[in-house]
Amino acid sequence: MTGHHAPSDLLALATEWIAAWNSRDLERVLTLYTDDSEMSSEKISALGFDASGTLRGKDRLRAYWSKALTFRPKLHFTLIETFASPDSVAVLYHDELGKQVCEYLRLDDAGKIRQASGNYPVRWA
């Protein structure tokens, strides 16, 4: 089956993803992504990038995350839970501000992230 990844490999990816972000080494983070990866987040348009909230390609992700990191000098993620399917992993964590976030990471056959989305809690009025 194409795109099938063992749960242990997905857990290892989630663990490395958290560690890469906590290192604040953007190039380390980007090694986990394909060159043509896609990222969606409400934060993309909030920081003045694509109004659609989606970016494609490592160069655009590098520019976005470089800017985002300037606003988060104490960025730190703490893993809460990892959820796996054969071709993806969802990483539930809380950040240094105590906010919960769930990142959905879909992988290619080689185990690199090809599609990602930052998912934030929905608060009902």
Task: Give the count of domains, the chain.
Answer: 1
With tokens 């990191």, the residue in question is 69
Q: Which residues contact 57 (CB under 8 A, 6 or more apart)?
A: 35, 36, 37
Contact, 3 vs 108, CB < 8 A?
A: yes
pLDDT tens profile 9-47? 999 999 999 999 999 999 999 999 999 999 999 889 888
Residue at 90 is within a domain: yes
Enter the tokens of residue 40. 């969606």
pLDDT tens profile 79-119? 999 999 999 999 999 999 999 999 999 999 999 999 999 99
pLDDT tens profile 51-67? 899 999 999 999 999 99
Residue at 2 is within a domain: no
Domain range spanning residue 36? 7-118
pTM: 0.90
Which sign, positive or negative, has the C-alpha torsion 57, 37, 51, 103? Answer: negative
The domain that holds 62 is classified in CATH as 3.10.450.50
